[in-house]
Amino acid sequence: MSATLTQKEATAFAPASVANVAVGFDILGFAFPSLGDRVKVRQLPGELGLVRISPVSGSPDLPLDPKKNTATRGLLRLLKDLNLDFGFQVEIEKGIPIGSGLGGSAASAVAAAVAANALLPQSLSLEELLPYCLDGEEVASGARHGDNIVPSLYGGLQLVRSLDPLDILQVSIPKQLFCVVIHPEAQIETRAARAILKPEIPLKKFVAQSANLAGFIAACYRSDFALMRRSLKDLIIEPQRKSLIPGFDEIQAAALGAGALGSSISGSGPSVFALCEGEACAQEVKNQMVEALQQLGHSSKGAWLGAVSSTGARLL
């Protein structure tokens, strides 16, 4: 992501992401490059501190006020912090459905920051760029959590041990680990999904969930799919949120019945993900998840399949 003094326009792609991954609420997520957002940023010479947004392609109802749009909130602070003598014109192309639980707000923030970074006199590192991306996430959810932002920016499977001070760990991805995502016909606002969560956790569940998280991480480093299957269970967040998702129990059961290693809510939902060993298994899991939803009389906004890869945001 090197910059040149003469570059006046740049476009970046940021992938969708699956956050929480059943066992790591607010701290674990992976990039899902099968879909994502594109953002084009152009310099506005002489427009100190100004950010303008063109009508958003794919989601025309998104706010055009740069303080309220996830893609541009961080750019306002970036211009101020670096005391730049120009502004930004921003064009957003949404490839991730709004309210899908696939990190759409994070992807817009990341793509905008990566594109803007290419226009700076001196590019920032990913670590330096991260806080500006988090500004956008805060607009959407009311909290600065990195389980969508970090994998969308860095790629891969990421464990956010701490944001302050910054401590991010890239987790090993076993070969042949595939993900299936299905998006039921519903929309869930992140703020609303967070508001229903109970503030206290019974000690017994905390211990069991901690064991699941540790088992999942160990399974990733050992490429132990049997251990991953035993560990990939959400005992805390999923039971509180699944009622928001049409047909969740049936979709999850279909995924597990078709051989998935585990299945749970992607982010705050309503999308449901399943992890699988191998592409053939993933294809069968996808077919069964879609069929389960159809048999319930519900429709979907899409179903996707892809390898869990190390691909993150990039300039186009």
CA torsion, ordered 138, 141, 142, 148, to nearest 10 deg: -40
Residue 313 inside a domain? The answer is: no
**pLDDT of residue 2 exceeding 70:** no
In a domain, 312, yes or no: no
Residue 225 belongs to a domain: yes
Single pTM value for the model: 0.92
The 10s digit of each residue's pLDDT in 64-107 is 999 999 999 999 999 999 999 999 999 999 999 988 999 999 99
What's the CATH code of the domain at 58?
A: 3.30.230.10
pLDDT at 4 over 60: no
Q: What pLDDT was estimated at residue 62? A: 85
Residue 315 lies in a domain: no
CATH code for the domain in which residue 217 is found? 3.30.70.890
Q: Is residue 107 part of a domain?
A: yes
pLDDT 10s digits, 250-284: 999 999 999 999 999 999 999 999 999 999 999 99
Q: Are 103 and 14 part of one and the same domain?
A: yes
> Can you give the pLDDT at residue 247?
92
Residues 217 and 264 in one domain: yes
pLDDT at position 11, please? 98
If asked whether residues 292 and 187 sit together in one domain, one would say yes
How far, in whole angstroms, is CA 110 from its chain's centroid? 10
Look at residue 210 and tell me whether its pLDDT is greater than 80. yes
In a domain, 3, yes or no: no
Shared domain check, 146 and 70: yes
Which of 17, 273, 12 shows the shortest CA–CA distance to 148? 17
Instruction: Kindly state whether residues 279 and 212 are assigned to the same domain.
Output: yes
- Co-location of 139 and 240 in the same domain: no
**Geometric angle at alpha carbon 222, from 218 and 226, rounded to 5°:** 80
Per residue in 131-189, pLDDT tens? Answer: 999 998 888 777 778 899 999 999 999 999 999 999 999 999 999 999 999 999 877 77
pLDDT, one tens digit per residue, over 95-145 is: 999 889 999 999 999 999 999 999 999 999 999 999 999 998 888 777 778
Residues 6+ apart with CB under 8 A from 209: 23, 201, 234, 235, 236
The residues pairing with 166 across neighbouring beta strands, listed in sequence order, are 163
Q: Say whether both 16 and 157 belong to one domain.
A: yes
> 113 with 130, same domain?
yes
Rounded to the nearest 10°, the torsion over CA 159, 161, 167, 169 is -30
302-312 b/e (C-beta count within 10 Å ≥ 16 → b): bbbbbbbbebb
- Measured over all CA atoms, what is the biggest interatomic distance in the chain, rounded to whole angstroms? 60
Instruction: Give a yes or no: residue 190 inside a domain.
Output: yes
User: Do 249 and 243 touch, CB atoms closer than 8 A?
Assistant: no
193 pLDDT more than 90: no
- Within 10 Å of residue 82's Cβ, how many Cβ atoms? 12
Q: Which domain holds residue 92?
A: 9-170
- Based on the fold, state whether residues 197 and 163 are members of the same structural domain: no
Residue 82 domain-assigned (yes or no): yes
Query: What pLDDT band is residue 246 in, cutting at 50, 70 and 90?
Result: confident
What is the pLDDT averaged over residues 206-220? 98
The residue among 170, 205, 231 that closes a domain is 170
Give tens-digit pLDDT for 298-307. 888 899 999 9
Which tens digit of pLDDT belongs to each residue from 219-228? 999 999 999 9
Residue 238's pLDDT is 97
145 and 234, same domain (yes or no): no
Residue 141 is predicted with a pLDDT of 72
Residue ending a domain, among 150, 170, 190, is 170
Q: Are residues 158 and 204 in the same domain?
A: no
Q: How many domains does the chain have?
A: 2
> If you average pLDDT over every residue of the chain, what do you get?
93
**Of the residues 137, 170, 203, which one is the last residue of a structural domain?**
170
pLDDT score at 314: 97
Does 89 lie in the same domain as 185? no
